[in-house]
Amino acid sequence: MNECTHIGLDVHKDTIAVAVLRPGTTEVDERVIPNTPDPPTAPAL
């Protein structure tokens, strides 16, 4: 069984697209985030 997690990044001037395929799944988790000079803020715990 393949235990690899596959990650894809597509970086552009305005956005960064991230795709993750986890082991044992066939559904890809995709997100698009803004590509800004400001650092991202972590959610409060």
On the CB side of 5, CA atoms within 13 Å amount to: 6
pTM here is: 0.69
How far apart, in whole angstroms, are the C-alpha atoms of residue 30 and residue 40?
A: 18
pLDDT tens, per residue, the chain with 45 residues: 568 999 999 999 999 999 999 999 999 999 999 988 877 677 766
The one-letter code for the residue type at 19 is A
Alpha carbon distance 13, 2 (integer Å):
34
